[in-house]
Structure 1
Amino acid sequence: MGVKHIDYWDPNDQDFWEREGKRHARRNLWISVPALFLAFAVWQIWSVVAVNLNSVGFDFTASELFTLAALPGLTGATLRIFFTFLPGIVGGRNFTVISTALLLLPTIGIGFAVQNPDTSFATMAILAALCGIGGGNFSSSMANISPFFPKKEQGGALGINAGIGNLGVSAVQFLTPVVIGLGFIGAMTGSSQTIADGREVWIQNAAFVWVVPIVIVTIAAYFGMNNLPGTKRSFKEQSVIFKNKHTWIMTWLYTMCFGSFIGYAAAFPLLINSQFPELGMSSLAFLGPLIGALIRPVGGWISDKLGGAIVTFWDIVIMIAATIGVIFFIQINHFPGFLMMFLILFMTTGIANGSTFRMIPVIFPAKEAPAVLGFTAAIAAYGAFLIPNIFGWSIDTMGSSIFALVIFIVYYVISLVITWYYYARKNAEVKC
């Protein structure tokens, strides 16, 4: 089902592409984008809800709050492994409808749970885990969109889908402080809470505000998207990717950039509060994922022109420099410098997200690329779980986040060498 049943699909056939392929591809892309935007918003709800829980009567420890912010990353990454292969099994349009509708489970559940300070940590943890459905949707979305476009345009198309989708992270961090203060929404969703400074808030709005958009986009996907012919494959057919060493190399490299992006996004509000507690600047955390998401399509576009490997290589150089800068400004307790360096770091993760995803369709055959895109995205998403926990461990044991940042620098240096050796140097195994 969908707008029109498609019997033939070959986007690399220029006549077909201009005649009708481009029209179908763009329609599916522009429905996929808001679906992915909402998925990322739901995935990262806890990065901001966790910051507000204790102020409305909950009594969770710092470790428990970091765990709630990290759990969606763990389940999201795990679900991505399975979601990678489901569009090929049940159809891309079909799975977009199902996976978008499933976002209603955590949003409605959180909306009710946060209204009762006696809600147990276990219940909150289950709801946080369910937010991982949003994280899982990324792999299925990218695997679905890739076959719609010819190879020469896949970098840009995947960059738009992922980049605007990633904006959901920034949107939830920017909108939450606003919507929890809106009584006209709260009047429809439950009673208010009073925080320490005496302000009246409706913390349930942070979740309930996404319910209507999710319903609208689910309906749009049902009626407006298509299942492509020739793209359905069993898991066995798709699993050939695991025998190719470049699957694992690109998984390492995409974890380097997207794992950093989503992990830093999940940890940034709590990190600002822990390193500069006297300033109350966690409301600025949305700027990082905003910059990283907006620049991702640019990374894909530049890589279409210059090559993904060379863009990735020089981007990692800047990542390393920016991380060293973050450490420097933490040591001198200078928040503006810390924020500036972290924003540059977010920018570099976004560019590399686009450039590495441009490399994959070049390295792999057309039948393998969608599964590789999904699988690399699945493993990279564990960054959303690992990075907040590494920061939490570093702060608890060392009293600072600096040791965690040193670990990340080591990872980036190894990634730089891998990129140069396999893909960027003169006689590289695969020039891309």
Structure 2
Amino acid sequence: MRPARTETGRWIEDWDPENEEFWQRTGRRTARRNLILSVLSEHIGFSVWSMWSVLVLFMSPEIGLGFTPSEKFLLVIVPTLVGALLRLPYSYAVTRFGGRNWTVFATAILLVPTLAALWFVQRPGTPLWVFLLIGAAGGVGGGNFASSMTNIAVLFPRHLQGWALGVNAGGGNLGVAAIQLIGLLVIATAGSSHPAYVISAYLPLIVLVSLLAALKMDNFTAVRGAPGAQLEALRDPHTWWISLLYVGTFGSFIGYGFAFGLVLQSQFGATPLESASYTFLGPLLGSLARPLGGLLSDRWGGALITLCTFCAMAAGTGVLLLASVQGSFALFICGFTVLFVLTGIGNGSTYKMIPAVFARRAEDAVTSGHDATEAFARARSLSGALIGIAGAVGALGGVGVNLVFRSSYGGSEKSGEPAFLAFLAYYLVCVLVTCAVYLRKRPTAEPAPRRVLARAGRG
């Protein structure tokens, strides 16, 4: 199969990853090359998106940027919100312009908020509203996730989708840990008065990955969604059930990732160096755990792994409440780190549930006499649309997490306990939803992985 040339760039047609001969001959190599470059772009997007979770640790009267804790929480909320709102249009854009074309644009545009942050963070006395605007512009990095996941979702056969989506998302999520680790290195070596060093590290990376994407990635006609796919997905109840679950997993991951350093400063009076020493560990482990969630779900089913994850997250939140009451810094760090790992596993398992829902419907359509190729193509299209919607709603969960923290630590008691009680209640709701919708009614909601594969192979 040769890439077809059009006016807008290189396109590959007749993509059929379920055909074993095609997959082994050329499909696997092409899909993995695009996956690697997609991960790199998404990784940098996450780093730029979460940059302010690091920069606020540097902001102090010492460098002429003294803001209150409430204002600092606002600085991490704004990019989270913009990134969440951009996920739906980014998910649609990749189906309109192609994976390669959109990845080049979405990566290159990260230069705008990065250069703006570099310029103004070195100017003492810069007002808060300027940084809020720059943070809003940095929200474009959050949109990369949706376009990347929508693109990758159709490139791999169904039995590898959990792994592929987990690797793609986990590699992107590592961007949160990466920029926090860079922040730690800067604070440890140059002190807490040089935030520009953190930003400067990403300028050459953005240029390099933009060029690599332009030269090595492909556009796939299979990514182009069926007409009205997003509207159809919006009308589907599973879209909102899965989005609710994804708020609990990814909303927690990104919300905790953005707020962790500020939480340590507000809860225990940690210094910038102390905060930076711990903030990268949770996002790092959580990102690495995401592919594990996909792999476990490929084996046991996404619903079961998601249920176990939320039960464990509820228990982990109980540990945070205990640590807060006892004032135990060590227990608090351990509890949060475990929560990050669980959110990573839950991210992978929840996303695995998406193609499973529509694969079941494609099976039923084939059984009823519909064309198998058309049925499974429609399933891939709707899966991509739901991925974009769930990604957007899940990121809004991160906004909610930070708003709850801001309210909790901005109150008279300045304690995180009200926030943790709210999170605990939400996780328990997710446990009930998973049981009622995806386990109690499993035969009509989520097929066993092997059964899907058997039907797909005949299609």
- Whether TM exceeds 0.5 here: the answer is yes
**Match status 1:11 vs 2:24:** no
Partner of 1:35: 41
CA distance in structure 2 between the partners assigned to 1:235 and 1:121 by the alignment: 43
State the shift of 1:176 in Å.
1.5
Instruction: Give the equivalent residue in structure 2 for 1:357.
Output: 351
Q: Is the 2:316–2:336 Cα contact (8 Å) retained in structure 1?
A: yes
Whether 1:391 aligns to 2:385 is no
Which residue, 439, 447, 458 being the options, matches 1:424?
Answer: 439
> What amino acid is the match of 2:167?
I
Q: Does 1:261 align with 2:253?
A: yes
- Residue 232 of structure 1, CA deviation: 1.9
Alignment correspondent of 1:138 = 145
Name 2:274's counterpart in structure 1.
281
- The one-character-per-residue Cα deviations of 1:182-231 (angstroms, maximum 9, x if unpaired) are 77xxxxxxxxxxxxxxx584321211210100100000111111111233
Amino acid at match of 1:94: N
Structure 2 residues without counterparts, runs of 5 or longer: 359-378, 448-459
For 1:205, the equivalent position in structure 2 comes to: 197
Q: Distance in 1 between matches of 2:436 and 2:88?
A: 28
Contact kept, 8 Å, 2:149 with 2:387, in 1: the verdict is: yes
Shift of 1:3: 10
Q: Which residue does the alignment assign to 1:88?
A: 95
Alignment of 1:230-379 (within 5 A): 230-233=222-225, 236-277=228-269, 281-283=274-276, 284-364=278-358, 365-379=379-393
Secondary structure of the structure 1 residue equivalent to 2:218: coil
Question: Which moved further from structure 2: 274-283 or 97-106?
Answer: 274-283
Provide the rounded CA distance (Å) in 2 between the counterparts of 1:373 and 1:407.
Answer: 26
Change (3 A) 1:265 1:112: same
Provide the rounded CA distance (Å) in 1 between the counterparts of 2:227 and 2:126.
40
Please say if residues 63 and 124 of structure 2, whose CA atoms lie closer than 8 Å, have aligned partners that are also in contact.
yes
Report the residue type matching 1:382 in the other structure. Answer: L
Tell me the number of residue pairs that the alignment of Structure 1 and Structure 2 aligns. 417
- Residue 184 of structure 2 corresponds to residue 177 of structure 1: yes
* More divergent stretch after superposition (85-94 vs 321-330): 85-94
Contact 2:69 2:262 in 1 (8 A): no
2:59 alignment partner, one of 53, 56, 64: 53
Q: Is the 8 Å Cα contact of residues 186 and 192 (structure 2) preserved in structure 1?
A: no
Distance 1:428 1:259 in 2: 28
Per-residue CA deviation, residues 364-405 of structure 1 (Å, 9 max, x unaligned), is: 222210111111001111123221221110112242011011
Question: Which position in structure 2 is the counterpart of 1:188?
Answer: none
Letter in 2 for 1:238: Q
Whichever residue aligns with residue 166 of structure 2, its letter is G
Q: Is the 8 A contact 2:229 2:385 kept in 1?
A: no
Counterpart CA distance in 1 for 2:83 and 2:9 is: 30
2:374 corresponding residue in structure 1: none
CA distance in 2, matches of 1:383, 1:128: 18
Contact 1:73/1:383, CA 8 A, preserved across alignment: no
Pair 1:64–1:77, CA change in 2 (3 A)? same
Please tell me the residue identity of whatever aligns with 2:95: G
Residue 150 (structure 1) aligned with residue 157 (structure 2): yes
Q: Give the counterpart letter for 1:231 in structure 2.
A: V
Letter in 2 for 1:373: I
Aligned CA RMSD, in angstroms, stands at 1.8
CA contact (8 A) 1:300 1:355 kept: yes
Taking every aligned residue pair, what percent have the same amino acid on both sides?
Answer: 38
Contact 2:9/2:101 (CA < 8 Å) preserved in 1?
no
Preserved contact between residue 81 and residue 379 of structure 1 (Cα < 8 Å): no
Q: 2:415 — aligned with what?
A: 400
Q: How far did residue 59 of structure 1 move?
A: 2.2
Output the CA distance in 1 between the equivalents of 2:314 and 2:194: 41
Change (3 A) 1:235 1:208: farther
Question: Which residue in 2 is equivalent to 1:415?
Answer: 430
Query: Is the CA contact (8 Å cut-off) linking 2:224 and 2:381 kept in structure 1?
Result: no
Structure 1, unaligned runs of 5 or more: 184-198
1:375 maps to amino acid: I
Q: Does 1:381 align with 2:395?
A: yes
TM-score relative to the length of structure 1: 0.93
The correspondence of residues 180-195 of structure 1 with structure 2, limited to 5 A, is none
How far 1:278 moved relative to its partner?
5.2
* Distance in 2 (alpha carbons) for counterparts of 1:244 and 1:403: 34
The two structures have a TM-score, normalised by structure 2, of 0.88
